[in-house]
């Protein structure tokens, strides 16, 4: 597990080799493009087209898009599992193809490929050994993570007996065994019931509170809206929208006024009338849309105007 000393050494080394390195930028994609080709080298699919984005330290970043939009390709490029056709992806100031940076990354894939005949304790101990975590630290970390994901009562059961929701929980614990600085989550709430979904979202928020950076892909837009600070919406490989969730969902041409202790006759009047009637003005603000409405609007507009890319500022 990384310590403050080792972390400072890594940062110091990067500052020496890359003077432009900003420790507050965890992920940086510049003109990142991935083209899949057929056997004869002809372009088959442009999975990602000139993606530009930054993910900042300590934020929860949502990567959204329908199937085939380039989300999984982006994650694989960040992990170094794929090589870009052009452009570059940087993680912790290093090229994403540098495999040593993965020691600081935790990854929960959409489908967890775990050894079904191991228990939860054995699974986490196995992955802890892969990271060369010392025995005493590993034992403590295993028990802490099992408790954190709510599997204490099932920690000695083989994973083949687990439901899909339980498998997602142990998958998250496995992704956190190395105490990563960056956590990549692909459909983290898949297979969870409403209570489990709420607990998973609370765990994601706790990761941010601990100073970790989280990137999550999800088709469940309500979940993303609940936990993400910023989002990027991809469609057919193009970046269509990028920004803070609260800013993107704000309806700028409408105004919402909330007040209390007003007589019914004053409810439809404007701010000055609220004061005149002795009401308590709670707030005047632009109402919010929903992430689902924004997402569907972007998809419809993209189908009507192919090739249009995000042009607004990321604020």
Pick the range with the lowest mean pLDDT from 54-63, 91-100, 169-178, 287-296: 287-296
Regarding pTM above 0.75, the answer is yes
Residue 125 scores a pLDDT above 90: yes
pLDDT computed for residue 180 by the predictor: 94
Pick the range with the lowest mean pLDDT from 155-169, 197-211, 228-242, 243-257: 243-257
* 308: confidence class by pLDDT, cuts 50, 70, 90: low
Dump pLDDT digits (tens) for 48-79: 999 999 999 999 999 988 888 888 899 999 99
Domain boundaries, the chain: 22-250+288-304, 256-285
pLDDT computed for residue 284 by the predictor: 61
pLDDT computed for residue 5 by the predictor: 44
Query: What is the overall mean pLDDT for the chain?
Result: 83
Residue 1 scores a pLDDT above 60: no
Residue 156 scores a pLDDT above 50: yes
pLDDT computed for residue 54 by the predictor: 93
Burial call 264-302: b when 16+ CB within 10 Å, e when fewer = eeeeeeeeeebeeeebeeeeeeeebeebeebbeebbeeb
The CA radius of gyration of the chain, in Å to the nearest whole number, is 23
Tell me what the mean pLDDT of segment 225-235 comes to.
90
Instruction: Please state, for a pLDDT cut of 90, what percent of the chain lies above it.
Output: 44
267 vs 220, residue with greater confidence: 220
pLDDT computed for residue 140 by the predictor: 95
Instruction: Please state, for a pLDDT cut of 70, what percent of the chain lies above it.
Output: 82
197 vs 6, residue with greater confidence: 197
pLDDT computed for residue 28 by the predictor: 94
pLDDT computed for residue 307 by the predictor: 65
Specify the CATH number for 22-250+288-304; select among 3.40.50.300, 2.160.10.10, 3.50.30.60, 3.40.640.10: 3.40.50.300
Give the count of beta carbons closer than 10 Å to the beta carbon of residue 225.
21
């Amino acid at each position: 597990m990384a310590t403050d000393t080792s972390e400072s050494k890594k940062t110091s080394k990067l500052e020496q080799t890359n003077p432009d390195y900003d420790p507050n930028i965890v992920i940086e994609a510049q003109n990142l493009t991935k083209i899949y080709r057929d056997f004869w080298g002809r372009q088959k699919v442009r999975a990602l087209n000139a993606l530009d984005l930054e993910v900042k330290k300590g934020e929860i970043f949502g990567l959204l898009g329908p199937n085939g939009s380039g989300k999984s390709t982006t994650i694989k490029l960040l992990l170094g599992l794929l090589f870009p056709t052009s452009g570059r992806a940087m993680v912790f100031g290093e090229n994403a193809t540098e495999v040593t940076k993965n020691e600081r990354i935790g990854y929960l894939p959409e489908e967890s490929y775990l050894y079904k005949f191991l228990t939860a304790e054995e699974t986490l101990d196995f992955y802890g050994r892969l990271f060369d975590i010392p025995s005493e630290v590993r034992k403590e970390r295993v028990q802490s993570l099992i408790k954190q994901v709510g599997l204490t009562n099932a920690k000695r059961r083989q994973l083949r007996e687990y439901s899909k929701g339980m498998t997602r929980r142990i998958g998250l614990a496995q992704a956190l065994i190395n105490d990563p600085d960056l956590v990549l989550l692909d459909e983290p709430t898949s297979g969870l019931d409403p209570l489990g979904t709420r607990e998973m979202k609370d765990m994601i928020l706790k990761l941010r509170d601990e100073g970790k950076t989280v990137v999550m892909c999800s088709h469940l837009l309500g979940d993303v809206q609940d936990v993400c600070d910023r989002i990027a919406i991809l469609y057919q490989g193009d970046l269509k929208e990028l920004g803070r969730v609260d800013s993107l969902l704000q309806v700028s041409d409408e105004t919402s006024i909330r007040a209390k202790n007003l007589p019914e006759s004053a409810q439809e009047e404007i701010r000055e009338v609220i004061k005149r009637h002795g009401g308590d003005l709670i707030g005047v603000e632009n109402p919010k849309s929903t992430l689902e409405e924004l997402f569907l609007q972007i998809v419809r507009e993209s189908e009507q105007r192919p090739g249009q890319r995000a042009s607004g500022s990321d604020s």
